[in-house]
Amino acid sequence: MHDVVSFNDETCVDNLKMSRNAFGCLCYILENSGGLINTKNVTICYTISKHFNGVLPALLELHILFLIKPTPIEDDTTNERWKWFKGCLDALNGTYILLRLAQKEKPLYRNSKGDASVNVLVVCDINMHYVYILSGWEGSAADSRVLKDVITREQWFRVLDGMQLGTVF
């Protein structure tokens, strides 16, 4: 792990999908806010790479720092984009993200335009902060199918009684 992080940013990004600075910040936050600690023989860097199941609870403790509680769109909002969504907590939209796949996997992920993609549903608040992301549905999946999946997940996504979902195009 030391070689991956200390050599250069390119090596770090190739292996960890984040820069050395981002990885250092993550280690700092996990130690100071997530409760992860160095031991006599094991550093946090080593812990993250080798003991994922121990690190995961520390990551989950960080939800208070990174998750934003949505507030309804005010009735007197003058924001041109959001004035149509008065009373809504958030807005959702689906998008396709193109993929590079092996030839045998392409048919499942082919969207209506013939490209291989994944269907991603995103929910954001008025400040354009992401409050929910669902990725992984094959490109051939209809938006309504993805939305039905989302609203039937009891522990993942809830529409509060009396609230409406808005859709941004």
Query: Considering the domain boundaries, does residue 75 fall inside one?
Result: no
Predicted pLDDT at 87? 75
Range of the domain at 140: 83-167
Q: Is residue 59 part of a domain?
A: yes
Q: Looking at residue 167, what is its pLDDT?
A: 40
HEC string of 112-158 equals CCCCEEEEEEEEECCCCCEEEEEEEEECCCCHHHHHHHHHCCCCCCC
pLDDT along the chain (169 residues), means of 10: 70 79 84 80 66 72 71 81 75 78 84 86 78 81 83 62 43
State how far the Cα of 81 lies from the Cα of 47, in Å rounded to an integer.
45
38/90 same-domain check: no
On whether the CB atoms of residues 156 and 168 are closer than 8 A, the answer is: no
Contact (Cβ atoms closer than 8 angstroms) between residue 121 and residue 146 = yes
Residue type, 131: V
Angle at 60 between CA 98 and CA 132, to 5 degrees: 40
Return the pLDDT at 156.
58
62 and 14 share a domain? yes
Q: Is 77 inside a domain boundary?
A: no
Q: In this structure, is residue 71 part of a structural domain?
A: no
What is the domain count for the chain? Answer: 2
Q: Are residues 97 and 55 in the same domain?
A: no
